[in-house]
Chains A and B, each alone.
Chain A
Amino acid sequence: MNSLNAMFPLLTLIVGALLVLILEVSIKRENKTYLAFISIIFLMICGFFCVQSWGKDFSYFNNHLYLDNFALFFSIVLIITTILVTLISMKYLSLQNTNVGEYYALLLLALSGMLIMVSSSDLIVIFLGLEVLSMSSYTLAGLKRDDQKSSEAALKYFLLGSFASAFLVYGLALLYGVSNSTSIAVIIDHFKTESSLSFMAFAGLGLVIVGFGFKIAVVPFHMWTPDVYQGAPTPITAFFSIGPKAVGFAVLVRLLYPFWHVAYDSEVIFSLLWIISALTMIIGNLIALRQTNIKRMLAYSSIAHAGYLMVAILSQDTSSLMFYFVVYLFMNIGAFAAVIALGKKDKEYLELDDYAGIGFKYPWIGATFAVFLFSLAGFPPTGGFLAKFYVFSAAVREGLVSLVIIGVLASLVSVYYYLRIIVYMYMREPTHEVDINLENPALFLVLFLCLYGVLQLGIFPGNILLIIKQAVSSIAFL
């Protein structure tokens, strides 16, 4: 249904971002936290609009913005992510001396870029959203201006990001050249009229995959991830590990699912993604073994998770992919929140040694962190187990047995580095004093919410699965 309603979520975010920017000028530095509350209010309004539009298929701009349930589902996941990230940022920013109002505005803008990407099936509009997201991301990564690592992260992200964007645009141009359109549906329809894919079509598709492969950080386009994740402010790292990945996969679903039904030549792309998926799972997990910095380790872990998600793409089971994202959102933000909890004025504890004995000194933080790590490693009864189980069982149904074996072995390796943190927390004597700032109610709220989410999804996943079913059945391939 063509309606201005389709614009409401986006407009809310943009108005919110502008308002935060305007107020930022007149608010004293120590009061900047109020801006977080304002941006949360706008995020909630935005979420409200998304929920309101559920099942109504609003569209605008000649269907270039199309809010089907699939788009709305990812929008809501992303809005929740942003709310949680905002909550864990509030105290962090003032402790780490990064308390600037632009932070919240940039988060809102990055989110608006992602919302554009998930609600469009026109490659140019998607690219537009990608750039809105990327520009905000580069800035966010470098927001700790007096920190060398942070600036390094921003620069690396920017340079490699532009590099990847260039390939993506090139790919788009080639596809346009083949089909005279930038709409995914038209491109695929055009493929159907030909007996085999042309050289140009292959090159175009390949380069588009490269572009999004960068965003979702799959091997071999993952090299930026550890450096950027380590240097960026920790809440932003949490944001990066979920947001851009979610949209990248959402776009891949929209692009590849109709493509699988083009009978010829799709198996070449299929086997290509098979290789990427296997490599990502193997290399991500193997390098993670050697990390002693928690943020770097979580960076490699997020690469590995992208590999598992690729398995879901290959088995064409969108619902397991979406379920994985919901679980991943809670367990990963939870893990990062626990990492943020271990910090005080101008100091973050990020080395493995810092975690020795934490389980006894701060039992609540230790216990919740342990639950998130168990979930990331895929132990029942946490959501992480079910998520992996659904992805792998769907893949086995599709006959991807060898890929599943690789995946299971790779996640066996991952158990080592996840559990190593728990071993440090509970079985090692602390080597040095770690004392942290505990006056952080918002952070503890997030820890609690994520804990609840991880367990709820692990034990009673029924309701979410029902919503996902609705979302999958309504994907509009325009």
Chain B
Amino acid sequence: MTDIFWIIPLIPGLSSLILVIFGTKLPKKYISIQACAAVFASFVVSVISFIGLKQIPHEAYPLIKNLYPWIQSGDFKAALSFQFDPLTAVMALVVTGVGFIIHVYSIGYMAKDKSYARFFQNMNLFTFSMLILVMGSNLVLMFVGWEGVGLCSYLLIGFWFEKHSAANAGKKAFIVNRIGDAGFILGILFIFIYVGSVEFRAINEAIGGGHITQSIATLIALLLFVGAVGKSAQIPLYVWLPDAMEGPTPVSALIHAATMVTAGVYMVARMNLLYTLSGTAANIVALVGAITAFYAATMALTQNDIKRVLAYSTISQLGYMFIGCGVGAYAAGIFHLYTHAFFKSLLFLSAGSVMHALSGELNMQKMGGLKKYLPRTFPVFLIGAIAISGVPFLSGFFSKDAILTSAFANGNYLVWALGIATVVLTAFYMFRLIFLTFFGQERLDPEVKKHLHESPPVMTIPLQILAFFSIVAGYVGLPLVFGKKLNLFGHFLEPVIKVSHEAHLNLSTECLLILFSVAVALFGIYLAYIFYIKKPQTPHNLVAKFPTLYKLLYNKYYVDEIYNATIVQPMIKGSEFVYDNFDLKVIDGTLNGSAKTTGFFGKFFSYFQTGLIKDYALIFLLGVILLLGYLLF
């Protein structure tokens, strides 16, 4: 049964194709059933393949299905072939499982949208591309998926393209990602030059066999990481993700929280041998992750837009994942990716449910006291917030803890300290969000309040399922303090990710670290409680006291403005100059000139086509004479 895994990506692909062709003619009900069923079918096949995978010996990993020799040009070969191993299994299960829940939620959320078919067609296409990304057995196919998800992200951010800001946000995401992709392509090319193949197996063999020197490994690893920085929204290419919140909320949940943005983390984990070989690159990955985690969390503190807070939080959490990968704890990074998928999509969808209730209101300053109006949304939102804050016994606690412990164990104290600082900030901004939204005074617009209503079951039931997983998902990867054999998750990934190089702490140190991070998280929550419930004037007093700092944070360090002045404007000026002087004059001039010349010759030659048979025969005869003359003399 394991050899059917290759149909996992094809099902949503086929469904998307059907919706592209017939979408506008099909009834909404059918569209939603087909789109959800396709993802669900993929999920079922993923589960079957996952079970099958556990039954075969590790030596047989990865399973490969070669469908078609896609590109063959000289030495360069890239096959349309899929692979299935533990890492792929985790990713496929997350993508299809969480994806399915979000698809179902979208039925309710998008019910009144006029482009219903287009939405589901793009969502299915996204699922297809994401599965190609995680299942491709070579870098080139992975890149196809990588670009495919980028395209779908663009299409879905700009889903409401009549809105100027949405169209611009889509464009921004696409262009910023291109910068990263340029690095990624260069990385692939260098791998081909030095390894001679783009298949993951061959790359791993080459690294294992010592055919790659450390400096080349550093070069390639950093180039690939540039791609990951773009896709996973790390410093300095994170600017597109907050703007991407212009898309429909299910899109933010699926693409910009649970799956696509984690592609960079997946890629680094997939190439773990390369990053392990190059210590420099791994350190840079960890450092970029740590700085991003902290930096993004500070920006989340002052935002009033509920989705933007979550967006910065996503950037920050992705930073954690890179910390994990950078300090060699790839399994922990992927573990956080997996738990994050549940609680972050839960948070986004709950935020969507709040927006749905408030006729699209996003500003938290205009909410407050919603607890009693949204009895089903509130508890799940709270669970999500607790899970992300790192409160013990919910999923986020286990995964975040695994990363921080590894960072400490590896002696990366700076990274660890930034991580711990981020824990405080995370707990604080998440509970700021909870308190501002659900507690305190009602600050609703009267018009909005009239339409206030809890979301339908098709939206709340997916939320409850996600909430359930946000609580229990962490128990598959318990830390060492609870027992040696209990990290099932890490154990499962072992065939892909070698754990030998991870340093281990003694139990008491690990216990202390865990207790410390728990204390820090609780402190963050307590701080938020003081700020927004007990003494609601505190924030205002602080703002009055540190106006510059507040302004800096509120305006997101002016990074967008800086990019605009230093990169975007010079680029526009430069291209205008080239357009005016080179394009219009040189290129168009040459083109028009050559078109005129060819047109003239065409006219000249058709002059001989008189239609008279004697002329034809004459030219024929002339041809014969010339030909014989040429041959004979």
- A residues near B, CB below 8 A? 155-156, 159-160, 163-164, 167, 199, 202-203, 205-207, 209-210, 214, 219-221, 223-224, 226-227, 268-269, 272, 275, 283, 286-290, 413, 416, 460
Q: How far is the CA of A315 from the CA of B620 in the complex (A)?
A: 26
Residues of A within 8 A of B624 (CB): 167, 206-207, 210
Are the CB atoms of A289 and B620 closer together than 8 Å?
Answer: no
Are the CB atoms of A210 and B631 closer together than 8 Å?
Answer: no
Is B483 part of the binding interface, using a Cβ–Cβ cutoff of 8 Å?
Answer: no
Q: Can you list the 5 inter-chain pairs with the closest CB atoms, starting with the nearest?
A: A220-B623, A223-B616, A289-B602, A286-B602, A290-B602
Interface class of chain B by DSSP? helix
Are the CB atoms of B599 and A289 closer together than 8 Å?
Answer: yes
Are the CB atoms of B632 and A202 closer together than 8 Å?
Answer: yes
- Output the nearest chain B residue to A275 by Cβ-Cβ distance: B630
The stretch among B252-260, B411-419, B605-613 that forms the contact with chain A is B605-613
- A156-B616, A223-B620 given; A287·B631 CB < 8 A: no
Are the CB atoms of A203 and B623 closer together than 8 Å?
Answer: no
Among B598, B626, B631, find the residue whose CB has the most chain A CB atoms closer than 10 A: B631
Are the CB atoms of A223 and B631 closer together than 8 Å?
Answer: no
Q: How far is the CA of A206 from the CA of B631 in the complex (A)?
A: 7
Residues of B within 8 A of A269 (CB): 631
- Output the nearest chain B residue to A214 by Cβ-Cβ distance: B620
Q: Within the complex, which residue of B68, B601, B609 is in contact with A226, where a contact is CB–CB below 8 Å?
A: B609
Query: Can you sample 18 A-B contacts with CB below 8 Å?
Result: A159-B613, A159-B617, A206-B624, A219-B623, A220-B619, A220-B623, A223-B615, A223-B619, A226-B609, A268-B630, A268-B631, A272-B627, A275-B630, A286-B598, A286-B601, A286-B605, A290-B599, A460-B68
- Output the nearest chain B residue to A417 by Cβ-Cβ distance: B602
Q: How far is the CA of A472 from the CA of B316 in the complex (A)?
A: 63
Within the complex, the shortest CB–CB distance from B12 to chain A, in Å, comes to 21
Are the CB atoms of A224 and B616 closer together than 8 Å?
Answer: yes
- Output the nearest chain B residue to A269 by Cβ-Cβ distance: B631
Q: How far is the CA of A160 from the CA of B612 in the complex (A)?
A: 12
Are the CB atoms of B631 and A205 closer together than 8 Å?
Answer: yes
Residues of A within 8 A of B617 (CB): 159-160, 163
Residues of B within 8 A of A167 (CB): 624
Residues of A within 8 A of B611 (CB): 227
Is B603 part of the binding interface, using a Cβ–Cβ cutoff of 8 Å?
Answer: yes
Are the CB atoms of A203 and B619 closer together than 8 Å?
Answer: no
Within the complex, the shortest CB–CB distance from A15 to chain B, in Å, comes to 37
- Contact count band on B: 20 to 34
Are the CB atoms of A221 and B620 closer together than 8 Å?
Answer: yes
Residues of B within 8 A of A268 (CB): 630-631
Q: How far is the CA of A167 from the CA of B617 in the complex (A)?
A: 12
Within the complex, the shortest CB–CB distance from B595 to chain A, in Å, comes to 8
Residues of A within 8 A of B620 (CB): 160, 163-164, 214, 220-221, 223
Q: How far is the CA of A205 from the CA of B631 in the complex (A)?
A: 9
Within the complex, the shortest CB–CB distance from B18 to chain A, in Å, comes to 18
Residues of B within 8 A of A205 (CB): 631
Q: How far is the CA of A460 from the CA of B623 in the complex (A)?
A: 42
- Output the nearest chain A residue to B626 by Cβ-Cβ distance: A220
Within the complex, the shortest CB–CB distance from A314 to chain B, in Å, comes to 16
Residues of B within 8 A of A209 (CB): 627
Within the complex, the shortest CB–CB distance from B600 to chain A, in Å, comes to 9
Q: Within the complex, which residue of B68, B598, B606, B632 is in contact with A203, where a contact is CB–CB below 8 Å?
A: B632
Q: How far is the CA of A345 from the CA of B281 in the complex (A)?
A: 74
Are the CB atoms of A272 and B631 closer together than 8 Å?
Answer: yes
- A203-B631, A224-B616 given; A287·B606 CB < 8 A: yes
Are the CB atoms of A287 and B602 closer together than 8 Å?
Answer: yes
Using A167-B624, A206-B628, A223-B609 as known contacts, list a sample of 15 further A-B pairs with CB atoms less than 8 Å apart, ordered by residue number in A. Answer: A160-B616, A163-B617, A163-B620, A203-B628, A203-B632, A206-B631, A220-B622, A221-B623, A223-B616, A268-B631, A272-B630, A286-B598, A287-B606, A287-B609, A290-B606
Among B68, B606, B630, B632, find the residue whose CB has the most chain A CB atoms closer than 10 A: B606
Within the complex, the shortest CB–CB distance from B80 to chain A, in Å, comes to 11
Q: A-facing mask of B467-482, CB < 8 A → 1, else 0?
A: 0000000000000000
Within the complex, the shortest CB–CB distance from B630 to chain A, in Å, comes to 6
Residues of B within 8 A of A164 (CB): 620
Are the CB atoms of A206 and B616 closer together than 8 Å?
Answer: no
Q: How far is the CA of A148 from the CA of B5 in the complex (A)?
A: 65
Q: How far is the CA of A41 from the CA of B444 in the complex (A)?
A: 79
Within the complex, the shortest CB–CB distance from B69 to chain A, in Å, comes to 8
Residues of B within 8 A of A227 (CB): 611
Residues of A within 8 A of B622 (CB): 220
Q: How far is the CA of A221 from the CA of B604 in the complex (A)?
A: 18
Q: How far is the CA of A286 from the CA of B599 in the complex (A)?
A: 7
Residues of A within 8 A of B630 (CB): 268, 272, 275
Within the complex, the shortest CB–CB distance from A462 to chain B, in Å, comes to 8
- A203-B631, A205-B631, A272-B630 given; A210·B606 CB < 8 A: no
- Output the nearest chain B residue to A286 by Cβ-Cβ distance: B602
Residues of A within 8 A of B628 (CB): 203, 206-207
Within the complex, the shortest CB–CB distance from A411 to chain B, in Å, comes to 13
Q: A-facing mask of B351-387, CB < 8 A → 1, else 0?
A: 0000000000000000000000000000000000000
Q: How far is the CA of A283 from the CA of B601 in the complex (A)?
A: 9
Q: How far is the CA of A235 from the CA of B632 in the complex (A)?
A: 41
